[in-house]
């Protein structure tokens, strides 16, 4: 079932969805895109009121839990806030669907490497947060844990732009007319 169908089904049945989102700033709009149009739905975004269709969820969290945390590395404060929002605000409303999107361990894997002390700390923080949410959920709740992608370990970095240019291609991170390839740093 795609996200639009899920939202329509929840709305038509009078069921409610709440979300605590700490992923990339734009994707908070996608996890419960129709939240503002459906009574009882809301999405909290760690990025603030401008990054959700239901800014009142952010305001409610600030009133209850204090100011939004500053970005840290690893993003332990964001993990803790997401857990608190779902546990204290989301589950307290007995929604039909509650979603929490942690920024870890993904962020730390990217910036501090898999297996680093910071990555281990991020994993432990997510484990504790997940356990707190599981303990707060009703006994008959169905809990599904998912990851948006796996991680690939590498032993070196390759300057793809330089390699493509050396092979005779026109390539750049800011593509110009006539370039053969447009490249983003750190993504494929």
pLDDT value of position 47: 96
Nearest Cα neighbor of 85 from 33, 126, 48, 43 is 43
pLDDT tens string 12-52: 667 889 999 999 888 888 888 889 998 889 999 999 999 99
Residues 6 or more apart whose CB falls under 8 angstroms from that of 144 comprise none
- Say which residue the tokens 């730390």 belong to: 108
Instruction: Please tell me the distance from the alpha carbon of residue 119 to that of residue 108, in angstroms, as a whole number.
Output: 5
Nearest Cα neighbor of 65 from 80, 45, 50, 76 is 80
Instruction: Please tell me the distance from the alpha carbon of residue 44 to that of residue 65, in angstroms, as a whole number.
Output: 13
Identify whether the C-beta of residue 18 lies closer than 8 Å to the C-beta of residue 42.
yes
Nearest Cα neighbor of 104 from 19, 22, 44 is 22
User: What are the φ/ψ torsions at residue 98 (nearest 5 degrees)?
Assistant: -125, 130
pLDDT value of position 124: 97
pLDDT tens string 165-188: 899 999 888 878 888 888 876 544
Least confident among 74-83, 103-112, 118-127: 103-112
H or E stretch including 109? helix 106-112
Instruction: Please tell me the distance from the alpha carbon of residue 26 to that of residue 28, in angstroms, as a whole number.
Output: 5
Instruction: Please tell me the distance from the alpha carbon of residue 159 to that of residue 81, in angstroms, as a whole number.
Output: 37
pLDDT value of position 68: 98
Question: Which 8-state DSSP code applies to residue 88?
Answer: I
Identify whether the C-beta of residue 158 lies closer than 8 Å to the C-beta of residue 152.
no
**β-pairing, 17-21 with 171-172?**
unpaired
Task: Examine the pLDDT at 81 and tell me if it is beyond 80.
Answer: yes
């Amino acid at each position: 079932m795609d996200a639009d169908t899920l939202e329509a089904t929840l709305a038509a049945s009078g069921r409610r969805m709440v979300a605590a989102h700490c992923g990339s700033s734009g994707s908070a709009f996608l996890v419960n895109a129709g939240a503002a149009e459906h009574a009882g739905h809301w999405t909290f975004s760690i990025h603030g009121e401008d990054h959700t269709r239901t800014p009142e969820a952010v305001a409610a969290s600030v009133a209850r839990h204090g100011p939004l945390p500053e970005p840290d590395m690893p993003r332990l404060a964001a993990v803790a806030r997401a857990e608190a929002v779902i546990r204290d605000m989301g589950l307290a409303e007995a929604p039909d669907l509650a979603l929490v999107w942690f920024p870890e361990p993904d962020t730390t894997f990217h910036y501090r490497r898999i297996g680093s002390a910071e990555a281990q700390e991020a994993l432990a923080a997510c484990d504790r947060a997940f356990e707190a949410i599981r303990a707060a959920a009703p006994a008959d709740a169905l809990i599904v844990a998912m990851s948006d992608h796996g991680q690939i370990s590498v032993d070196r970095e390759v300057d793809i732009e330089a390699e493509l240019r050396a092979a005779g291609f026109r390539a750049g991170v800011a593509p110009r007319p006539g370039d053969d390839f447009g490249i983003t740093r750190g993504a494929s």
